[in-house]
Structure 1
């Protein structure tokens, strides 16, 4: 439920941006550039949410008799969705990463 609650604002902002772009008069190349720019941020956010959800589900499904939670640290996700002109972007996530160690 928390996943969908965090996903909804991202999708609404994306749809708002698309509606805003549809009302403006662009050439095709300008429109293509604007749409590409508008999709980068939602794609990064959705990817971060999905990976975080997978991480949580894997941690909860682990065999607690065999694996223990070792330490937590902040993590960075390197994506192919650029915004910095180099072709990649780093996303800092506020939740701590979890690493499991054998007991």
Structure 2
């Protein structure tokens, strides 16, 4: 069973972003949250936050199109369904007509 210790790290976002930071929250084994914000977070990093940070850097520089991170989806059944659907959106797709009923 995983010990519930929280780790925090942050990445400064590219200048083209409306936010200044990507704040990363993780446990010993999983990413819990990546939140874009204009507020810096505390730093208490571990190997999981470092891995996330490295992959975000590669993603922002267009060298990575698919993340390979251990993460836990938190929330209601509905929000978990939404997260699962978001994971199906291909890299670079940005359209309001993406959803098909």
TM-score, structure 1 normalization? 0.30
Task: Point out the structure with max Rg over C-alpha.
Answer: 1
By percentage of residues, which structure has more strand?
Answer: 1
TM-score, structure 2 normalization? 0.30
By percentage of residues, which structure has more helix?
Answer: 1
